[in-house]
Amino acid sequence: MKLYADRIPTAVRQLLTDIFVVLWVYAWVRAGLWVQDMVQKLGVPGAKLESAGGGIADNLSDAGGKVGKVPLVGDQLVKPFTGAADAARSLAEAGRQQQEVVDTMAIIVALIAVAVPFALVLFLWLPLRLRWMRRAAVASAVRDQPAGRDLLALRALASQPLNKLAKLGPDIAQSWRNGDASAVDSLAELELKRLGLKSARR
């Protein structure tokens, strides 16, 4: 597998693009984590509510336990404390549920923040990069073979812009069909140059 081109300008451009993509992905990951932290701060009131509700419930339960020891009327006096403790526990539970919702939202928002950049990398940049690597590897394997030069020349005729083909001569296609070695070499060189590869060794 060929990672980078032979020609310096193309190789430098590929390397800079790869570095940019890596830094771009890293920056979006950091941005996603930052967004997650910001959203999670919305759960602070819920945490305080859970803590306060739990503390009040415990205090009321302790007070109810002590009041319940009063002879004769203890059972009657403890009911308000028990009800108030249950209400405080409900507040604490509401605070806990709010924190769970905020945590879930933080994860979802962070994933959404990085989903589009990752999709661009996976579905646009990466396929193009892999396609170049595959084509460059095949071209490198066949460029030193006579039959390989013919294949590269045919590829150039099929894919190169007409203005570039016209620069090789008005009858370049006919010359290739006639097996003209110079025409084949010129076309093969054009295709290799497009891929950023050096010429075939002669």
Q: For the range 140-144, what are the long-range contacts, defined as Cβ-Cβ under 8 Å and sequence gap of 24 or more? A: 140/2, 140/197, 143/188, 143/192, 143/197, 143/199, 143/200, 144/200, 144/201
| Burial of 121 from C-beta contacts in 10 A (0-12 / 13-18 / 19+) | middle
| Burial of 166 from C-beta contacts in 10 A (0-12 / 13-18 / 19+) | exposed
The 10s digit of each residue's pLDDT in 85-108 is 788 888 888 888 888 888 889 899
- Cβ neighbors of 92 (< 8 A, separation 6 or more) are 49, 50, 51, 52, 53, 54, 57
Q: Tell me the Cα Rg of the chain.
A: 36
The 10s digit of each residue's pLDDT in 101-139 is 888 898 999 898 899 899 999 999 999 999 999 988 888
Average pLDDT along the chain? 83
Query: pLDDT over 70 for what percent of the chain?
Result: 91
Mean predicted confidence (pLDDT) in 44-70: 76
Largest distance between two CA atoms of the chain: 119
Tokens of 78: 């403890």
Least confident of 7-16, 42-51, 63-72: 63-72
pLDDT at res. 70: 63
Question: Is 187's pLDDT higher than 80?
Answer: yes
Question: Is 3's pLDDT higher than 70?
Answer: yes
To the question of pTM greater than 0.85 for the whole model, the response is no
